[in-house]
Amino acid sequence: MKIGVVGAGNIGGTLGAKWAAAGHEVVFGVRDPQKSSAVDRVAAMAGEVRLGTSAEAIAHGEVVVFAVHGAAVEALVDANAAALDGSVVIDASNNMRGASRHALDHLRERVPAARLFRAFNTLGWENFAEPMFDGVKADLFFCGDEEERATVERLIADVGLEPIYLGGTSEVDLVEGMTNMGFALSMRRQMGRRIAFKVLGI
Ligand SMILES: NC(=O)c1ccc[n+]([C@@H]2O[C@H](COP(=O)([O-])OP(=O)(O)OC[C@H]3O[C@@H](n4cnc5c(N)ncnc54)[C@H](OP(=O)(O)O)[C@@H]3O)[C@@H](O)[C@H]2O)c1
Distance CA 156, CA 2 (A): 15
What is the position in ligand 1's atom list of the atom closest to the CA of 14?
16
Query: Does residue 95 sit within a domain?
Result: yes
For residues 47 and 28, is the Cβ–Cβ distance under 8 A? no
What is the position in ligand 1's atom list of the atom closest to the CA of 70?
45
CATH number for the domain spanning 167: value is 3.40.50.720
Distance CA 144, CA 87 (A): 13
Helix 10-21 to helix 149-159 angle (10° resolution) is 90
Query: Does residue 171 sit within a domain?
Result: yes
The 10s digit of each residue's pLDDT in 32-56 is 999 999 999 999 999 999 999 999 9
Distance 6 CA to ligand 1 centre (A): 8
The 10s digit of each residue's pLDDT in 141-153 is 999 999 999 999 9
Distance 158 CA to ligand 1 centre (A): 21
Q: Domain of 67?
A: 2-188
Distance CA 198, CA 202 (A): 13
Q: Going by C-beta distance under 8 Å and a sequence separation of 6 or more, which residues neighbour residue 195?
A: 123, 124, 127, 182, 185, 186
Query: Does residue 198 sit within a domain?
Result: no
Instruction: Count Cβ atoms below 10 Å from residue 87 Cβ, excluding itself.
Output: 22
pLDDT of residue 152: 98
Amino acid at 114: A
Helices marked H in the chain: 10-21, 39-43, 54-60, 73-79, 81-84, 104-110, 125-129, 149-159, 172-183
Q: Which of 6, 30, 142, 179 to mutate to test the pocket of ligand 1 (most atoms within 8 A of CB)?
A: 30
pTM, entire model: 0.98
The 10s digit of each residue's pLDDT in 52-93 is 999 999 999 999 999 999 999 999 999 999 999 999 999 999
**Of the candidates 83, 101, 95, 103, which has an alpha carbon nearest to the alpha carbon of residue 29?**
83
Query: Does residue 42 sit within a domain?
Result: yes
- Three-state SS string over 86-97 comes to CCEEEECCCCCC
Distance CA 90, CA 144 (A): 9
pLDDT of residue 111: 98
Residues with a CB atom less than 6 Å from ligand 1: 6-12, 29-31, 36-38, 54, 67-70, 72, 76, 92-94, 121, 124-125
Distance CA 152, CA 144 (A): 9
pLDDT of residue 95: 98
Distance 135 CA to ligand 1 centre (A): 29
Distance CA 189, CA 110 (A): 39
Query: Does residue 76 sit within a domain?
Result: yes
Query: Does residue 152 sit within a domain?
Result: yes
The 10s digit of each residue's pLDDT in 154-198 is 999 999 999 999 999 999 999 999 999 999 999 999 999 999 999
pLDDT of residue 201: 93
Number of domains the chain contains: 1
Nearest CA to ligand 1 atom 3: 124
Distance 200 CA to ligand 1 centre (A): 32
Tell me the pLDDT band of 108, cut-offs 50, 70 and 90.
Answer: very high
Distance 67 CA to ligand 1 centre (A): 5
Query: Does residue 113 sit within a domain?
Result: yes
